[in-house]
Amino acid sequence: MSESNQIDINYLHHIVLRETENDLISEIEPDFYRNLSNFIGNLRKQEFDGVESKIKDAMISMATELTSLLIHIRLNKILKSENFQLGDLLDEEKFILDSQEEQRERTEMILSATINGKSKFLESLAQNHKTKKIVIRFLKEVDEIVGADLEKYGPFKTEDIATIPYENAQALIAKNVATKVYWED
């Protein structure tokens, strides 16, 4: 029987329990998170009334909590372990760890530039970060703005999607005028 047929609340609970009872990272099927996503997604699509709807909502809540717990337990094991095998990780976990490695590299880059007197490099880095473009969705109407890159953007209507400099996007997000768009397939 394929794992996608096996995933239910009991199986998910079993996986989380097994992970908590072992100091080493447990072996999980490579497509576990995708199958789990399908299970939760299919559960969300089902429509029920009354008590059945409440049961469905409770199952979604349990699955969400168990999934979060599983990811956090596995990542904590990885971070505390000195000799974990990269092959023990699922692709999604490697994706998370990749961002942490990038954070360490950026920290070292800033530290090195600072202690080696490379202020022009730091200035360039800061400017590039301010002006890197991100995608946002507007929650309210906004008049034309001048971006951190000195280009003009807008005006924007509610629900418009735009790519604007990071610094401007962060200011709009902080004011609850816009929200960051995350692209999903």
Which pLDDT tens digit goes with each residue over 77-134?
888 887 777 777 899 998 888 888 899 999 999 999 999 999 999 999 998 888 899 9
Q: What is the pLDDT of residue 62?
A: 95
Asked if 167 contacts 131 with a C-beta cutoff of 8 angstroms, the reply is yes
Residue 140: which CATH number? 3.40.5.50
Question: Is the whole model's pTM more than 0.75, yes or no?
Answer: no
Asked if residue 19 and residue 82 are part of one domain, the reply reads yes
Of 34, 66, 86, the one marking the end of a domain is 86
Q: What is the mean pLDDT of residues 36-61?
A: 93
Question: Which residues are bridge partners to 138 per DSSP?
Answer: 178
Range of the domain at 135: 130-180
**Which is it for the CA torsion 36, 38, 44, 50, positive or negative?**
negative
Q: What is the mean pLDDT of residues 12-35?
A: 93
- Residue 135 domain-assigned (yes or no): yes
Confidence band, pLDDT 50/70/90 cuts, at residue 184: low
Q: pLDDT over 70 for what percent of the chain?
A: 96
Strands 161-165 and 145-146, bridge-based pairing: unpaired
Radius of gyration of the chain measured on its C-alpha atoms: 22
Of 61, 86, 111, the one marking the end of a domain is 86
Q: What is the pLDDT of residue 3?
A: 42
Q: pLDDT over 90 for what percent of the chain?
A: 74
- Find the length of the chain: 185
* Strand residues in 54-113 grouped as ranges (E): none
- Residue 118 domain-assigned (yes or no): no
Confidence band, pLDDT 50/70/90 cuts, at residue 4: very low
Q: Is the pLDDT of residue 23 over 90?
A: no
Q: What is the pLDDT of residue 9?
A: 93
Q: What is the mean pLDDT of residues 10-33?
A: 93
